[in-house]
Structures are given as C-alpha cells and as structure tokens.
Chains A and B, each alone.
Chain A
Amino acid sequence: DIQMTQSPSSLSASVGDRVTITCRASQGLSNNLAWYQRKPGKVPKLLIYATSTLQSGVPSRFSGSGSGTDFTLTISSLQPEDVATYFCQKYNSAPWTFGQGTKVEIK
C-alpha cells in the first residue's frame, strides 16, 4: 500500500505569513490528492481536490500543487481563522490513506 508522509507535524507562523505543508507519497498518485482542514470541535472540511482544484467556497489564499509523489498545500497569507490541523489524502485507489496531519498555530 502507498504510504503518505506529511510534514511538518506542526508549525507556528504569524498572521500574514506564507505557510507551506508538504505531503509525500511512497508511490506516484497521478493527481488524486486532496487536502482537508480540521478545526477543533468541527467536522473535517474538504479544501482542495485533484491536487490543485479549490472546493467551492474555500478562500483563494489556499492553493495546492504537485505531481507524482510530492504535493504541497500553501496558505498565501495566514489568517487567525486558519488555525486548524490539515490532512492530505490519496484517493486514486483504496486504501484512501490520510497523512498524519499538520497542526497550524498563530505565533
């Protein structure tokens, strides 16, 4: 099975900073990679699918990129409401494995 390795596990940044989270697959995924945001006490929310397509209603400061085995979620200007844990997920074929998560905090 393909393993998903996400980094860093946590980060602290200032409001307005550019934040980058990476997700590495042990084998190629084509573009079947999604990103989710999990705020405390809330249900996970799909942010990006097909590597770079923004889900409806997601702010444009979020973007995704990558191909093959290396993928990136970028927040161009971190906002206080972005405090959350972010997960990548492969869904090209089962198992639809998640990355371990990246906890984003405000410095």
Chain B
Amino acid sequence: EVQLVESGGGLVQPGGSLRLSCAASGFTVTSNYMSWVRQAPGKGLEWVSVIYSGGSTFYADSVKGRFTISRDNSKNTLNLQMNSLRVEDTAVYYCATERPLGYWGQGTLVTVSS
C-alpha cells in the first residue's frame, strides 16, 4: 500500500529556511514522479515542484531559485529545501506521487511570520 507522510513543517520568520521531508512506503521514490503541492489559507491548490524518475526537476515560478526538491534514496524520502521564505509561502504542503497525482500525504503546515 502506498503511503506518504510529510514532516518538517513549523513556524519560521520571513527570510528563514525550512526543510520538509516526505517518507514514502509501498514504492520507491526513484521509480515515479514525486511532487510538492501547497494550499494557502483560503486559497486553491498550487503546484510547487516535481522531480521525475530520471532526476529532472521543475519548479513553479513563485518558488524558483528559493526551493530545491530532492530525493534521499537510502531513506526513500522526498525533500523540499525552502530558503528565503516569504509570508506568502504560508500553506499546508503536500507531497504526492504519480502523474497525475494519484497518492497524497496528509500535509504539513508551514507558517512564515514574524
């Protein structure tokens, strides 16, 4: 059974950094598309980033140059390094797999506030 469990969310000041992780089970993260999607309070879904099975990475313009998606094959996890965080990055962050997004984690809340 495919399971995704996010961790690493929390409160951070503007300009700070945070690293999210998504532990996968039931499949290997290198075998499929792995994505991050976020939903800000009162807003819709926003696609953030994807890493393809071959390793290619892509980002939304809103996070390009600040966020980095990666995989830890030894731990079977997906990561999202978030730097230079802004108030508008406040959201619940979900990891999801497949293309399109057939499996989702429960999400982790990131709050950027002073």
Contact = CB atoms under 8 A, between A and B. Distances in A.
B104 A34 contact: no
A71 interface: no
A87 B9 CA distance: 25
A89 B101 CA distance: 10
Contacts of B46: 98
B100 A98 contact: no
Interface string A82-105: 000101010100111111110000
B106 A43 contact: yes
Contacts of B106: 43
Size range of the chain A interface in the assembly = 20 to 34
Contacts of A101: 44-45
A100 B44 contact: yes
Interface in B13-55: 35, 37, 44-47, 50
Given A95-B61, A96-B35, A96-B50, A43 B44 contact: no
B58 A94 contact: yes
Interface in A1-44: 1, 34, 36, 38, 43-44
Contacts of B75: none
A36 B101 contact: yes
